[in-house]
Chains A and B, each alone.
Chain A
Amino acid sequence: MASSATELGGLSDQEVVLRARSGREAAYRELIRRYERPVFALLFRMVRDRELAEDLSQETFVKALNAIDSYRPEFKFSSWIFKIANNAAIDHLRRRELDTLSLDGSPHAETPEAMQATALQIGARQESPLDTVEAKELGSAIEAAIGSLRPEYRSCILLRHVEGRAYEEIAEILNLPLGTVKTYIHRARNELRVSLAHLKE
């Protein structure tokens, strides 16, 4: 299994998709390995609920992998899966009003254990408890500021600055004209600058 993963690790997304189409389970797992974190991160920041983001990520991958035959290799696989993920998030946001962001656990958790279980697992960037608190506060402020943006602005700014996607790719993922994507990103940055102005002080 390890040798298979190593072999697949050196292939392009399109080549891995070809192997998945021919029925290799390892190729499906390789696609999940490559995109589970970016897809989950995008969905979490879109819906701001860990459990829900995980459900939507699962739904995204199941939908994409079961329809792998309909993927057209002339397009980027990343664009395709982000498009499915973004549609899942937008569909959900249209159906439900969002709650405020909680880094301490899902707002839907009913017990302290459930809150703990759904709390976000922040990477080990911090070195001391003080750093941890400061980074968590800063992270909370940025996450909250991103969460307060309109969903369309949110998708654009996350795809641009977290995922590092080109404007053309963002336009393709979101089915928006290129000019609209540029405007949304510009406006999103302006709104974030205003929201985060207090951090400078």
Chain B
Amino acid sequence: MSSSPESHLSSEQIDAWLGGSPDAVTQNHVSQCQLCQEQLRADQEIAELIAGLPLWSPTSGFADRVMASVRVPDPFAFRSLEATRRRMLATPKSMAFAASVGLLLLGSMIASITWTLGHQATIASFGSWVVAQSGQAMWLGVRGIALNIIEQPWYAWVSGFVGNPGRLALFSALVSLAYLGGLLTLRRLLAIPTQRVAHAGF
């Protein structure tokens, strides 16, 4: 924007002056030009008048009214599909990355299905072997635990105690009561407090 004959100074020069950083040419011109001095003084006054206007505030409770309509994401939830989709489509680079991952997954799935169809007998024999091995391992484990318990010094006393039907019923009732008490205590401990806790930090 060039200097106009009426103002002598361009709008850039006036802005630079108002911003407190006039160049030497502007300073030199202003020092000799009565008209520009008056214009700058007037513009300065206008800028100061506007800057001095009061800052209005919305009525109290504004933040609460806004927050009532804002959806805050659950910090413990997994990122929503919408946010992930938006992030994936944000830039050409992220789109290319997402497409590569998609192609890789698709390729792996096709390869997996093809191999499965061609090796059904292998998969069946491997399945039988896994079932047999795990059954054997489980049986050995149970047997080991049972032998270990029988060899304990307190086993004979416990065996004698629960051998009587009345004592067995009493023992079962006591264990059930202890279990119930434990459950109630746990539920109480995990309950959300009904009042806001001042030092909780959120």
B23 at interface by CB-CB < 8 Å: no
Judging by beta carbons under 8 Å apart, are B58 and A120 in contact?
no
Q: Which of A21, A54, A69, A196 contacts B58 (CB 8 A)?
A: A54
Judging by beta carbons under 8 Å apart, are B14 and A186 in contact?
yes
Judging by beta carbons under 8 Å apart, are A182 and B12 in contact?
yes
What residues of chain B lie closer than 8 Å to A36, measured between beta carbons?
A: 57-58, 62-63
Which parts of A1-39 form the interface with B (CB within 8 Å)? 1, 3-4, 20-26, 28-29, 32-33, 36-38
Which parts of A76-112 form the interface with B (CB within 8 Å)? none
B42 at interface by CB-CB < 8 Å: yes
The contact string, 1 if C-beta is below 8 Å from chain A, for chain B 52-96, is 011111110011011101111111110000010011000000000
A129 at interface by CB-CB < 8 Å: no
Interface size bracket, B side: 35 or more
Complex Cα gap A22–B80 (Å): 11
Complex Cα gap A48–B51 (Å): 17
Judging by beta carbons under 8 Å apart, are B62 and A58 in contact?
yes
Known: A23-B74, A29-B67, A66-B71. A142 touches B53 (CB 8 A): yes
Q: Which of A25, A57, A139 contacts B53 (CB 8 A)?
A: A139
| Nearest-neighbor residue (CB-CB) of A179 within chain B | B1
Judging by beta carbons under 8 Å apart, are A120 and B56 in contact?
yes
Distance in angstroms from B23 CB to nearest chain A CB is 16
Say whether chain A's binding surface is mostly helix, strand, loop, or mixed: helix
B47 at interface by CB-CB < 8 Å: yes
What residues of chain A lie closer than 8 Å to B58, measured between beta carbons?
A: 36-37, 40, 53-54, 57
Known: A25-B202, A123-B55. A189 touches B71 (CB 8 A): no
Complex Cα gap A105–B57 (Å): 14
Judging by beta carbons under 8 Å apart, are A183 and B66 in contact?
no
Judging by beta carbons under 8 Å apart, are B54 and A32 in contact?
no
Q: Which of B46, B54, B72, B73 contacts A123 (CB 8 A)?
A: B54
| Nearest-neighbor residue (CB-CB) of B62 within chain A | A36
Judging by beta carbons under 8 Å apart, are A193 and B66 in contact?
no
Judging by beta carbons under 8 Å apart, are A189 and B57 in contact?
no
Q: Which of B72, B87, B202 contacts A1 (CB 8 A)?
A: B202
What residues of chain B lie closer than 8 Å to A29, measured between beta carbons?
A: 63, 67
Judging by beta carbons under 8 Å apart, are A193 and B56 in contact?
no
Q: Which of B62, B74, B75, B201 contacts A3 (CB 8 A)?
A: B201
| Nearest-neighbor residue (CB-CB) of A60 within chain B | B66
Give 9 closest A-B pairs by Cβ, nearest first: A23-B75, A186-B11, A161-B50, A23-B73, A61-B66, A123-B54, A62-B69, A32-B63, A65-B70
* A-B CB contact pairs (8 Å), 24 listed: A1-B201, A4-B201, A21-B73, A23-B76, A26-B202, A37-B57, A40-B58, A40-B62, A58-B66, A61-B66, A61-B70, A62-B69, A123-B55, A138-B49, A139-B53, A139-B54, A143-B53, A161-B47, A161-B50, A162-B50, A162-B53, A179-B1, A183-B1, A186-B15
Which B residues have a C-beta under 8 Å from some C-beta of A? Answer: 1, 11-12, 14-15, 42-43, 46-47, 49-51, 53-59, 62-63, 65-67, 69-77, 83, 86-87, 198-199, 201-202
